[in-house]
A = this chain, B = another copy of it.
Amino acid sequence: MKIGKATIPRTAICTSDEHTIVVRGRDLSKDLIGKVSFVEHFFLALTGQLPSSGQAAVLNATLVAITEHGLVPSVQAARMTFAAAPDAMQGAVAAGILGCGSVVLGSSETAGRLFTEIDAKVRTGVGVPEAALAVMQAWRAAGKQIPGYGHPLHKERDERVGALFDVARQAGTDPRFIAIAEAVEALNPQVLKKDLKLNVSGAIPAVLLGAGFPVQALKGVPILARTAGLIAHLFEEISQPIGFALSYQATREMVYDGELPAGFGAHG
């Protein structure tokens, strides 16, 4: 069945013949394996350009920052899935990745869209605080949350934020999205009536956009990072299985608030 107009598949990422695999114009075996790091290769595949050392440093730092946060819901989902289906590690990883949604890890991308919209206004000649205020008010008026601020555990500014900003400064990448992110943070008490501090999902686009990482691919960063973390947890699950222990604990205080048939529980 034909859906949409395009009928010829096109791609500019990779092609190959019997002898050579080409990624973004380079010979994979001769020019890339052993010559570039995995993170540089990811940047190349994504954007078509190898990153500068500064760009690579920033991308590495963001990936390191969100690989792990312990037994978070997506890790629990993955370990429970692996306990039930140990033959299919790919299925358990997939179950974990499916929790990179709009509520938990997706705010990196939406914060990136917020900062990009503010940046577009700044480029028309408006000052950063004025542009930030205008866009924040427009988002609030449209019923949208301001993403990238506040954390259930880290009430003060998450320490990862400062660490990422330090990396960006040392890398010499464009600092203008950091300035935008901090302008939003300063305006939160006024706009949201809450002094919400930058969290890691706000800091990631602040440094990555300045490193030339495309805003539409931002969601890929938590997805890739968490995949690494999930693999570490699934490897631990093999020798120290806790998937079923997690599900047992989760329901110890479970309340059933539905109907019961007559005589239920009277056996013993």
Contact = CB atoms under 8 A, between A and B. Distances in A.
Interface string A13-48: 111111111111111111111101111011001101
B98 A28 contact: no
Contact of A25 (B11, B216, B219, B261): B261
A257 B68 contact: no
A227 interface: yes
Interface stretch (A125-133, A149-157, A173-181): A149-157
A266 to B, nearest CB: 9
A7 B217 contact: no
Can you tell how many copies of this chain the complex includes?
A: 4
Interface stretch (A87-95, A115-123, A182-190): A87-95
A245 B45 contact: no
Contacts of A229: 13, 45
A134 interface: no
A192 interface: no
Contacts of A25: 258-261
A135 interface: no
A187 to B, nearest CB: 24
Contacts of A243: 73
Contacts of A89: 219-220, 223
B68 A14 contact: yes
Given A80-B99, A261-B27, A265-B17, A245 B11 contact: no
13 contacts: A1-B152, A9-B250, A9-B255, A16-B69, A17-B265, A19-B154, A20-B267, A28-B68, A38-B228, A71-B250, A90-B101, A97-B97, A220-B234
Interface of A: 1-4, 6-34, 36-39, 41-42, 45-46, 48, 57, 59-61, 63-65, 67-74, 76-77, 80-81, 83-95, 97-106, 152-156, 159-160, 162-164, 166-167, 170, 214, 216-217, 219-220, 223-225, 227-229, 231-236, 238, 240-261, 264-265, 267-268
Given A14-B70, A77-B77, A90-B106, 15 more contacts: A3-B152, A10-B257, A20-B261, A21-B69, A24-B258, A36-B64, A73-B80, A73-B247, A83-B103, A85-B101, A85-B104, A87-B88, A88-B98, A93-B223, A95-B98
